[in-house]
């Protein structure tokens, strides 16, 4: 099954399954994560898990998209800048908070070396971009963005800056850095002549 076409619903104990998946992922790593270990940890029969997610990658993709610790509200502040700043804060928290950093960073840091994790990462980012679409639609309706604006590129620049700073540079993300990054995304780096 293509993980991008997985069911949008799940078994009654989906949250328990997702929690077990995250726990095992952070404790044992991706390579040791198995459907059997998730079944044992969650108390759910492995056939139930396989019925919904036929592979650990499908389960991990669903977990990253739906698990409660990894979700955040899409802001609606009344301005594109305010909404992007809200998203930037949420992304920074996702990458640095004690309860989520041990989940997100290892999966996405390993993705370039493991094609199966690349699929998981693509599913995660596609879901996030779909959730963020209202921000850009509202900005177009308010005249803050042209109808030709590319939300994916905007989010790549914004989120990419934060991910790069945290995961590759190992630097802190300050409120000032987020303000500056949002302004650079919106206005560019060159001063008006």
Q: What is the CATH number for 20?
A: 1.10.10.60
| 49, 105: one domain | no
Q: State the DSSP H helix or E strand holding residue 23, giving kind and residue range, or none if neither.
A: helix 14-28
What predicted TM-score, i.e. pTM, was given to this entire model?
A: 0.81
140 and 49 within one domain: no
What CATH number does residue 83 fall under?
1.10.357.10
Torsion angle of alpha carbons 23, 94, 151, 60, nearest 10°?
A: 0
pLDDT at residue 99 in the model? 87
Task: Please give the Cα distance from 166 to 146 (Å, whole number).
Answer: 31
Residue 176 and residue 83 share a domain: yes
Could you tell me if 61 and 83 lie in one domain?
A: no
**Judgement on whether residues 51 and 131 belong to the same structural domain of the protein:** no
Residue 29 lies in a domain: yes
pLDDT in tens, 78-126: 999 999 999 999 999 999 998 888 888 767 766 777 777 777 888 888 9
pLDDT digits (tens, 9 = 90+) for 4-57: 444 444 678 999 999 999 999 988 888 889 999 999 999 999 999 999 999 988
Stretch (H or E) spanning 177: helix 175-187
* End-of-domain residue from the set 66, 88, 115: 66
Task: Look up the domain containing 94 and give its range.
Answer: 72-187
**Alpha-helix residue ranges (DSSP H) falling in 30-114:** 35-42, 46-52, 56-66, 80-96, 101-110
- Has residue 193 been placed in a domain? no
Query: What CA–CA distance (Å, rounded) separates 134 from 140?
Result: 10
Token readout for 152 is 């994916």
Residue 2 has pLDDT above 60, yes or no: no
Tens-place pLDDT, residues 122-163: 888 899 999 999 999 999 999 999 999 999 999 999 999 999
What is the domain count for the chain?
Answer: 2
- For residues 43 and 108, state if they share a domain: no
Q: Where does the pLDDT of residue 1 fall: very low under 50, low under 70, confident under 90, or very high at 90 and above?
A: very low
End residue of a domain, out of 66, 83, 106: 66
**Burial grade of 188 (CB within 10 A; 0-12, 13-18, 19 or more):** exposed
Contact (Cβ atoms closer than 8 angstroms) between residue 53 and residue 80: no
Report if residue 192 sits inside a domain.
no
Interatomic CA distance for residues 75 and 82, integer angstroms = 8
């Amino acid at each position: 099954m293509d993980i991008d076409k997985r069911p949008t619903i799940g078994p009654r104990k989906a949250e328990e399954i997702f929690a077990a998946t995250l726990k095992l992922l952070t404790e044992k790593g991706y390579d040791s994560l198995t459907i059997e270990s998730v079944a044992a940890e969650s108390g759910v029969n492995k056939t139930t898990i396989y019925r919904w997610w036929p592979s650990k990658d499908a389960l991990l993709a669903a977990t990253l998209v739906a698990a409660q610790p990894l979700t955040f509200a899409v802001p609606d502040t009344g301005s594109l800048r305010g909404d992007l700043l809200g998203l930037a804060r949420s992304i920074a928290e996702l990458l640095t908070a004690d309860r989520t950093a041990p989940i997100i960073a290892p999966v996405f840091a390993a993705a370039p070396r493991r094609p199966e994790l690349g699929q998981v990462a693509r599913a995660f980012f596609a879901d996030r971009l779909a959730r963020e679409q209202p921000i850009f639609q509202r900005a177009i309706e308010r005249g803050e963005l042209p109808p030709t604006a590319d939300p994916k590129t905007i989010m790549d620049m914004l989120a990419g800056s934060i991910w790069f700073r945290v995961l590759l540079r190992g630097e802190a993300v300050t409120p000032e850095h987020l303000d500056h990054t949002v302004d650079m995304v919106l206005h560019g780096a060159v001063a008006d002549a």
